[in-house]
Structure 1
Amino acid sequence: MKKVFSIMLVICCVLMLCSAAFAGTSVTGVATLNYDGGVFSSKIKTETKDKVAQEALVNAWKKYTSSFNAAKYKAYLKIEKEFTDNLGQYIASHSIVDERNDEDNKKYTVAVKALINDVAVDSKLSLSSAAGSGASGEGSMFSFIFVARDTASVKSYDKKVTKVAQAQSMSSGKETGSMGGSTMVSGESQKSMAKTTTGGSSEQKADKLKYTISSSADIDAAMNEVLSPAGFEVVEYGDIVSECGGVEPAVIKKEFSMQAELSRETRKAAIAGARRCEVPLFAIGTLDAGMPDIDPTSGLKRVYVSVNAKVYNISKRLPKKVASVGPVQFAGLGPSAIVAKRNALSKAAKEAARSIVDQLNAKGLK
């Protein structure tokens, strides 16, 4: 039984890899034609079907582009007509999935499912960007250091509770007296009340996390896979340190194992090294892997990775933040926790790089 289950897991992974071989997005568009009575006979003309189907296809494309992030959509709008005049270059396939002729309401509706070629779309946007329009070797140099982290320990703190009590008292008295002959008798009775009001506040420190640092090789490869085709010349941070100085990668990794952000001194030294090597764009980021669990749909191991990144333009004296990513999470699946984690890291790195490219293109940076 265990052997059969293992085979099933392998088959699922193969199917996932095959489906990922073609980077496409499936989207459905709908179009409706209102008509007067008598326009349609019992059989709708082919040219009418084609016209409505084409309109549905255009609507599918509009639906696809509406999913772009703000930066990518801004870049798309600059050359929108070049896309819409040549949709066939970007739609890998399409088919009619539903059509209805509502004779009572005089409406003919068509639903079209289209498979958009994401690679073709991204390539076109890249070629039209400032970074991608130059010849190979002429793009802006881009360096980054992204650190992969696993949570090693979590130190939690109890709430600190402060209580304040305020007391208030009230008293009232009554005095009586009588006189009889030469004798006077007096007496006093008292009544008191007390009121106490309590209040206070509670304070709790944030959890203190410690991390173990894992290999960033998969991250570097995934980032480069997106940045290079987009027209950026990727320079390894280790080469910057060797040629122009700066902070050793080991120092940066050690700091990231103890805290969420780099110290000001370390960040300044890393940027200074990149600037001396005339690298105008420099990025720093972390990818934090969570604990593995089981994906309820596939039964595979699942790991979530949270990515945080900032990109700086360091061409001038003061670094300017020109792009940022996260915090945002991505999930990876696999037959083991190790494979799931690597898939999640790769996916998170690619999506972070795509977001960075979109933001830089929207600003015309190269």
Structure 2
Amino acid sequence: MAFKSLRKSSFMLLLAALCCALPTHAVESKSTFTYTYSGRLDSEEKADAILQAKVKAIETWIATSQPYQERNFSLAKDDITENIDEYLLSSAVVSKDNNKDIKQYRVVVRVDINDTKLLNYLTAVGRAKDGSMDDEDQYITFVFVARELASRTEAKDTASGDFKRAKTLWQATTTSEIDIAVGEVFADANYYVIEAALLEEDTAGQLDVNNFLMDYEQGDDLTPGTKRDAIRGLKSLEDPVQYLAIGTLDVDEHVTDDVTGLYKVPVSVTAKILSVKRRGATMASIGPVQYLGLGPTPIVAKNNALKLAAQEMAAGLIGQLSSKSI
């Protein structure tokens, strides 16, 4: 009994810590559920059909938008079903039809999912699976860079008969919008977050943020040398850092949104988390996936896009780790 109590207590502490991991907003989902009955359809069966339609709406959204949380959802489905309205900001029955000839009651519902609360809960469930939450402190560091196109050369045949490959060069920088957003999500998921720049001296320069920037200006991934040195440096620390998160957030040109009249900036994200202990093995990955930011000026729209993309990216990576009980 004491062990079960400890597991429950640890899970509740983790869930409380996760409650602020993401900004609260709603996502809409719609579903249809057909309930087959016998005899006469009563009010309890109608209510159950609506309940199952709500659950199906959540399940559909997870399958299409949050596939890394499917395993966690399967673990938590019974509890979510029992407390369905805690994870919905609103719900409405769009239509209902009772076909008495074949004894089927068909209901269509539309729900606004509190994705912040739901994803935080699913992450907590995954990490608490089988009471296997690691007692060891989990340290993570990251280097995520914002990139804007500097130049692009198209592939072509030269006058001398040689073939010139296409080449894209980027301007890469670290930004406070990304660092703060990612750091908050990682920290709220109970990881100890250490700024990469603070580890440069401790790793004797093997982890060097400038090397990350130079690599990402030339290509979409780190060179083997940069990655190998960073992993070795982190592994050599007396108090080891277990995970290194890396990736790019590519900022496209701004356009005007037809609906709002505001500036709109797309950001394309590619990211992954590497295990230091497992020689840099990829434990989670995201992208490429695109997010949009709106604002009254191009700068504000870009900053909003970077913040949103960083938050969603970090949440996705954490969700994947939690599905492995990490």
TM bracket (short chain):
0.7 to 0.9
Q: What is the identity, as a one-letter code, of the residue corresponding to 1:351?
A: E
Which position in structure 1 is the counterpart of 2:175? 216
Q: How does 1:102-251 map to 2 (within 5 A)?
A: 108-130=105-127, 139-159=137-157, 205-245=164-204, 246-251=206-211
Given the superposition, is the C-alpha separation of residues 107 and 21 from structure 1 closer, same or farther in structure 2, using an over 3 Å criterion?
same
Q: Which has more helix, going by share of residues?
A: 2
Which position in structure 1 is the counterpart of 2:320? 359
Which position in structure 2 is the counterpart of 1:56? 53
Of residues 71, 74, 92, the one that matches 1:74 is 71
Q: How many residues end up aligned between the 2 structures?
A: 301
1:276 equivalenced with 2:236 (yes/no): yes
1:323-355: CA deviations, max 9, x gaps?
222222222222221112112212222222122
Q: Distance in 2 between matches of 1:131 and 1:143?
A: 23
Which position in structure 1 is the counterpart of 2:13? none
TM-score normalised to structure 2 length? 0.78
Q: What is the identity, as a one-letter code, of the residue corresponding to 1:354?
A: A
1:278-299: CA deviations, max 9, x gaps?
0011122111111222223333
How far off its partner does 1:57 sit?
A: 2.6
Q: Aligned with 2:189: secondary structure?
A: coil
2:73 touches 2:122 (CA, 8 Å); kept in 1?
yes
Of residues 300, 306, 312, the one that matches 2:262 is 300
Q: Aligned with 1:67: secondary structure?
A: helix
1:131 touches 1:140 (CA, 8 Å); kept in 2?
no
Q: Distance in 2 between matches of 1:36 and 1:76?
A: 30
Percent identity for Structure 1 against Structure 2: 29
TM-score normalised to structure 1 length? 0.71
Which position in structure 1 is the counterpart of 2:253? 291
1:131 touches 1:139 (CA, 8 Å); kept in 2?
no
1:289 touches 1:304 (CA, 8 Å); kept in 2?
yes
1:255 touches 1:262 (CA, 8 Å); kept in 2?
yes
How far off its partner does 1:62 sit?
A: 3.2
1:307 touches 1:326 (CA, 8 Å); kept in 2?
yes
Q: Aligned with 2:222: secondary structure?
A: coil
1:222 touches 1:349 (CA, 8 Å); kept in 2?
yes
Q: Distance in 1 between matches of 2:47 and 2:155?
A: 66
Between Structure 1 and Structure 2, whose CA radius of gyration is higher? 1
Q: What is the identity, as a one-letter code, of the residue corresponding to 2:223?
A: S
With 321-330 and 124-133 compared, the bigger mean Cα shift is at: 124-133
1:215-272: CA deviations, max 9, x gaps?
4211111112322222222111011113333243233323322333333222222222
Q: What is the identity, as a one-letter code, of the residue corresponding to 2:197?
A: G
1:126 touches 1:231 (CA, 8 Å); kept in 2?
no
With 324-333 and 20-29 compared, the bigger mean Cα shift is at: 20-29
Given the superposition, is the C-alpha separation of residues 131 and 253 from structure 1 closer, same or farther in structure 2, using an over 3 Å criterion?
farther
1:46-86: CA deviations, max 9, x gaps?
55643443343333333333335443112222333232233
Q: Distance in 2 between matches of 1:46 and 1:84?
A: 18
Which position in structure 1 is the counterpart of 2:25? 23
Q: Distance in 1 between matches of 2:43 and 2:75?
A: 35
Q: Which has more strand, going by share of residues?
A: 1
Given the superposition, is the C-alpha separation of residues 95 and 280 from structure 1 closer, same or farther in structure 2, using an over 3 Å criterion?
same
Which position in structure 1 is the counterpart of 2:212? 252
Q: Distance in 2 between matches of 1:288 and 1:153?
A: 14
Which position in structure 2 is the counterpart of 1:175? none
1:134 touches 1:231 (CA, 8 Å); kept in 2?
no
